[in-house]
Amino acid sequence: MLANKSYSLLKRQGDYIAHFRAMASPCEVIIETQQKNIAEQVAHLVTAEVERIEKKYSRYLADSVCSQINNSQGQACAIDNETFLLLNFAEQCYQLSHGLFDITSGILAKSWQFDGRNCDKTRDFPSEKDVTEQLKHVGWPRVKYQADFVQLPQGMSIDFGGIAKEYAVDKAMMLATQYTKAPILINLGGDISVSGLRCNNLAWQVAIESPHNEQAQGDLIVSLTQGALATSGDSKRFILYQNKRYSHIINAKTGWPVSGGPSSITVAAPQCTTAGMLATLALLQGRDAEKMLLAQHVNFWARY
C-alpha cells in the first residue's frame, strides 16, 4: 500500500495520468501502461521525490535546507553531498553566464514582485535606490563552500528556485525508469522529460504554452523522442509599467529585468537541468539569446 498519496490518478485510453501540484505549478505524469499498480507506483515515486526536493530546497519553507543556510547569520552551515552538487551547478551557471545568473540574487525579490500587476495603477514600481540597496547583498563569489559546508556573508541569501524544478524532473525520471520500462512523461509546470518513445514507437507531442496567451496552448507542438524540454519566460511572472512588460528574468549584475530578447525560450537537451540552464542563460543575453543558443548547437524555440 502506498502512503502519502498526494496525486489523483486517471485511467485513459492507453495510459494513466497522475495530476498533482508542486513548486507552485500544476504537474502531471503520464504512464503508458494498462497495469494500474505500475501507474500507481510510478506516480508515488515521482510525487514523493518532487515533494522531497521542494521541502529541502524551497526558500519559502522555514525548515528547509535552503532556509537553514539563509538563516545562518554569517556562520558556516553543514551541507550534504546533494546540496554540494547543486552549489557546484550554481557555480557553473554563474561562470557560464559571466555573472548574469546568480543564486544570491533572490533577495532582489524584495524590490521586484512579478505578479502580473500594472504598476501604473499601484505606483509600486521599484526605484533605482531600492534596487541599488538590494544589490549590496548579491554576489556569488562572496559565498564560501566546500563538500561539507557553505558560508554566506551576513545579510545574503541563496535561492535554488532557478534550478530546483528542472533538477526534480531529472531525479524523478531516474527513479521512475529504474522501476519500469513503461513509457513515461513527467511535466512539472512546463519542464518536461520523457523516458523514450511511446508504446507505438512514435514521439510524444508536447504543446508549448504561448507566452502571451495561455489559451493558445496548441499553437506550437514539439515532437520529443527522448530527453527533456525546459521553457523559461515571462508568461506568468511579469509586471507592467508605462506600457512596458518587465520579465522576471533579472540581470544579477544590474538588478533590473533583461529586455530586448524573446518572451520565452524552450530548449531541448538530454537532461531537463541542462535544458533549463540553457533556456535561462539565453534569456539573460537579451537580443543575443538566439545567437547564444545557435552557438551551442541545440534545438530551441524562441517566442516573441
C-alpha dihedral sign at 146, 149, 155, 161: positive
CA distances from 292 to 91, 96, 215, 275, 297 (A): 19, 11, 30, 13, 9
Contact yes or no for 303/263 (Cβ under 8 A): yes
Write down the residue that cell numbers 485510453 correspond to.
Answer: 13
In angstroms, rounded to a whole number, what is the distance separating the alpha carbons of residues 235 and 210?
Answer: 7
254 is in an annotated binding site: no
- What would the grid cell of residue 236 be? 506568468
Contact yes or no for 245/289 (Cβ under 8 A): no
Cite the DSSP H helix spans in the chain.
36-57, 65-70, 81-96, 119-122, 128-135, 164-179, 272-283, 289-296
| Helix 81-96 × helix 164-179 angle, to 10° | 130
162 is in an annotated binding site: yes
In angstroms, rounded to a whole number, what is the distance separating the alpha carbons of residues 152 and 66?
Answer: 12
In angstroms, rounded to a whole number, what is the distance separating the alpha carbons of residues 29 and 7?
Answer: 10
How many Cβ atoms are within 10 Å of 211's Cβ, its own excluded?
A: 21
Residues tagged in the binding site annotation? 162, 280
Give the residue numbers of the binding site for Mg(2+).
162, 280
